[in-house]
Amino acid sequence: GAVVSQHPSRVICKSGTSVKIECRSLDFQATTMFWYRQFPKQSLMLMATSNEGSKATYEQGVEKDKFLINHASLTLSTLTVTSAHPEDSSFYICSADRDRGLGGTDTQYFGPGTRLTVL
Amino acid sequence: KQEVTQIPAALSVPEGENLVLNCSFTDSAIYNLQWFRQDPGKGLTSLLLIQSSQREQTSGRLNASLDKSSGRSTLYIAASQPGDSATYLCAPKGLWKLVFGTGTRLLVSP
């Protein structure tokens, strides 16, 4: 089955530092990857859609200068939380569309998530 | 804008019961709908995916139905077990995006 990995699984950092999270599709190509954020006891909220070789599309209310997304290859997207603050502490999950050329019917596969704690 | 609601928000049942989890969505222009399971502090596990042209999908003790025109999906869990305890999320998919429901927290006691 299709596998998506995330690294690191947990990160604790000081306020003001930047943190990079990697999302990789291990056995398939993903033209499109997605980044979600989940606060405790809440559902997943889409932050941005990442397309290989082009700029990410951010959801309303998500600061693109704070959450930098780079989708450099068909198997890797990175999310960098710049100048992190305690309110950025959350569970960040990525997903990847398995690119079978079926458009909206492609299945989305999810990574295991990254727990970010900003002190 | 798609809005997804799941009822009930929480459910506690004894082992062995059959369960129905409900999901409703406001925009019926979807390509498919997925049901996921999330254990505390963990990522998502995909349970079932129903394409918009389908009415239901089955996997083991799980059966999911989809009524696209009325904006509803249900997840039926037969003979529930303590290992089924988790949060269940439904997510209809538009052209490119999944929109997640609020989730149903299920607790199955031995």
Confidence of residue B97 (pLDDT cuts 50, 70, 90): confident
Whether B80 has a pLDDT exceeding 90, the answer reads yes
Least confident of A1-5, A6-10, A60-64: A1-5
Confidence of residue A51 (pLDDT cuts 50, 70, 90): confident
Q: Which residues of B touch A112 (CB under 8 A)?
A: 42-43
Whether A54 has a pLDDT exceeding 90, the answer reads no
Closest CB to B89 among A34, A43, A103: A43
Please report the pLDDT score of residue A63 as a whole number.
93
Contact A72, B8 (CB under 8 A): no
Segment A17-29 mean pLDDT: 93
> What is the tens place of the pLDDT at every residue in A38-47?
998 888 999 9
Confidence of residue A1 (pLDDT cuts 50, 70, 90): low
CB atoms B98 and A46 under 8 Å: yes
Q: Which amino acid is at B109?
A: S
End-to-end CA distance of chain B: 41
Closest CB to B32 among A46, A49, A105: A105
Instruction: Tell me the count of A-B CB pairs closer than 8 A.
Output: 53
**Look-up: residue for tokens 């997925």?**
B34
Give whole-number Cα distances, A44 to A23, B4, B19, B55, B76, in Å. Answer: 17, 12, 24, 26, 22
CB atoms A108 and B89 under 8 Å: no
Segment B31-39 mean pLDDT: 93
Structure tokens at A99: 């690119």
Q: Which residues of B touch A36 (CB under 8 A)?
A: 100
Whether A32 has a pLDDT exceeding 90, the answer reads no
Confidence of residue A100 (pLDDT cuts 50, 70, 90): low
Beta strands per DSSP E along chain A: 4-7, 10-13, 19-25, 32-38, 45-51, 57-58, 67-73, 76-81, 90-97, 108-110, 114-118
CB atoms A43 and B46 under 8 Å: no
Mean pLDDT of chain A: 90
Instruction: Name the residue in chain B with its Cα closest to that of A116.
Output: B41
Please report the pLDDT score of residue A105 as a whole number.
56
Question: What residues pair up with A45 in beta bridges, in sequence order?
Answer: A37
Segment A90-113 mean pLDDT: 79
Q: Which residues of A touch B103 (CB under 8 A)?
A: 43
Whether A53 has a pLDDT exceeding 70, the answer reads yes
DSSP letter string, B27-66? ----SEEEEEEE-TT--EEEEEEEETT-SEEEETTEEEEE
Identify residues of A whose CB sits under 8 angstroms from chain B CBs.
6, 32, 34, 36, 43-46, 49, 91, 93, 95, 97, 103-105, 107-113, 115
Bigger pLDDT: A71 vs B85: B85
CB atoms A104 and B51 under 8 Å: no
Give whole-number Cα distances, B104 to B15, B21, B25, B68, B108, in Å. Answer: 17, 7, 15, 20, 13
